[in-house]
Structure 1
C-alpha cells in the first residue's frame, strides 16, 4: 500500500497572501489540489498536513477530485514535524511518498519512478543536476570556496521512502526534525541509501510571487499550444 503525504502547513508569508500557501490559486485551482492530482494516481491514500489553526474545509474541498481517499490532519511548526503527523494517519502503508503542496507540476510518472527506485534504496528523491556555478560563503559577503557542480544536485519532491526508514528518521527529537530541510537528509544520517531520480526544472516550487507568475505563464503556454511539459 502506498500513502502520499502532502506537506501543506506553510503560512506563505514570502508569497504575500493572507491565506495558507497551499490554498493559493494557480489558474483557478489551489496549489494543494494540483499537488494532490499529481501524486494520487500512484497512491492508495493521501494525507495532507495543514496549519494547526486552519479551517480544514477548504483543504478537503481542494482534495475532493483527487480520486483516492484523502485525509486532513494538523501539521507541525516545521516541515518534518508535519510529515511525522501525517505519517501517523497513514496506517497500513509500507511505502510513502512525501510531496510539497507548493510543487504543482510534479507528474504521476515522476512519482512512480521514485517508488520504483525503492527496489534498490531506502529512499528515492526527485532531483536535477546543478547547472550554475555554486559558491560557499560563511558570512554572506565573501566567497570561501567554489563547489564542484558536477557532483551537485538540487533536490525536489516527490520523495519516496520505505516506511521503516522514514519512521526511524522521524523518531529524532523535535528540535532535530525542525532543523531538517527534507526527510531524505534524515535517512542519510541513519546510514540509509538514498537514490537520485532525474527530474526537470519545470517541477518548480512556489515560494515567492515571481514563482507564481512563472507558474501561471507555464500553464498559459500549455493551454495555448496544447502541448505537454517538454514543450513549455
Structure 2
C-alpha cells in the first residue's frame, strides 16, 4: 500500500517496553527511551488473515473522562475483548490494534495479556478512516484477507467472523448486519413526522467487516487521494464500485455508546458464558 503522504516505513515493527508498535507510534516514542529492537512479522503460511481493531477514538459519551474503549465491561477493558477474540483464531496471523496517539506510544499494561507475537500497536488518526488507514499501513505484506472491527463492539461472534472471512475469500467485501425490524419515521427539524420509511431492504451495518487485501488497500488509497470520508469501510468499496455482501450479524455485535449499552453488554456477556 503506497501513499505520497506516508512518511514512515511500516514493514518492520518496533518494540517499546516489549510491545510491538507500528511506524507512526514508534515515531512518537521518547527518544531517550531504551534502544528499540526490531523483528520481522513472519506468520505461518496458513495464517493469512490480518485484523485491524479500531480503538483510536476519543469518545467519552458514557460519562466521565475515561476513554470509552478502555472502560471495563464483563471483567476486562472493552478493547481487550476484541483483541483476545481474534487472537484465539488459528487463521489470524496478526492483530493490529489502533490506539490514540498517547496510548500507542505508551500502551496500557493490560496489553501484556495478549499474544505479543501476533499483535501490533498502531497510532490512531484524526478520524476513524485515518485510523484504519494507519492500521493497514502497518499490516505486513503477506496478509491476504483483512478484517476490520470496532473496539466499541466487544462481543464479536466467532460464527459471524467466520461468515465475513468466508465471503472475503470469495473475492468480495462482506459486512455483518441485521435487518431493520422497527418502523422507521423520517422527521423534520421540529420532530414532526414527514413519512414512514419502507424498511424492506434496510439493514443495520455492524462490524466485523472483511475484505480482500488488495481491495481494501486500493479503496483507502483512492479515498485519501479524493479526500473522501466515510463512516465504515464498506461505504468506500461501494463508492468505488467494488462488490460488498451482507452476512447475518448478531445482537451481540451491538455498539457500546452510552451507559445503558454497557449494562446490556454486561448482560449479553453473561448469557454467552
Q: Specify if TM > 0.5.
A: yes
Name 2:265's counterpart in structure 1: 215
Q: Deviations along 1:130-157, whole A, 9 cap, x unmatched?
A: 1001123353623333222120000100
Give 1:197's match in structure 2, choosing from 234, 247, 251: 247
Mean CA deviation greater in 63-72 or 20-29: 63-72
- The answer as to whether partners of 1:134 and 1:147 remain within 8 angstroms in 2 is yes
The answer to whether structure 1 residue 183 and structure 2 residue 233 are counterparts is: yes
Measure the CA separation in 2 of the matches of 1:176 and 1:60.
36
Residue 20 of structure 1, CA deviation: 2.3
Measure the CA separation in 2 of the matches of 1:10 and 1:73.
13
TM-score (norm 1): 0.87
Which consecutive residues of structure 2, in runs of 5 or more, have no partner in the other structure?
1-47
Measure the CA separation in 1 of the matches of 2:179 and 2:213.
27
- The answer as to whether partners of 2:55 and 2:150 remain within 8 angstroms in 1 is yes
TM-score (norm 2): 0.74
The 3-state SS of whatever aligns with 2:125 is coil
Measure the CA separation in 2 of the matches of 1:68 and 1:27.
25
The higher radius of gyration belongs to 2
Measure the CA separation in 1 of the matches of 2:102 and 2:190.
36
Residue 169 of structure 1, CA deviation: 1.5
Which consecutive residues of structure 1, in runs of 5 or more, have no partner in the other structure?
223-227
Mean CA deviation greater in 43-52 or 110-119: 110-119
User: 1:105–1:167: structure 2 CA closer, same or farther, 3 Å change rule?
Assistant: same
Aligned positions of 1:46-195 closer than 5 A: 46-54=95-103, 56-59=105-108, 61-62=110-111, 64-66=113-115, 69-92=118-141, 93-137=143-187, 139=189, 141-171=191-221, 172-173=223-224, 176-177=227-228, 179-195=229-245
Aligned pair count reads 222
User: 1:193–1:157: structure 2 CA closer, same or farther, 3 Å change rule?
Assistant: same
* More helix by percentage: 1
Measure the CA separation in 2 of the matches of 1:3 and 1:15.
30
Name 2:256's counterpart in structure 1: 206
RMSD: 2.2
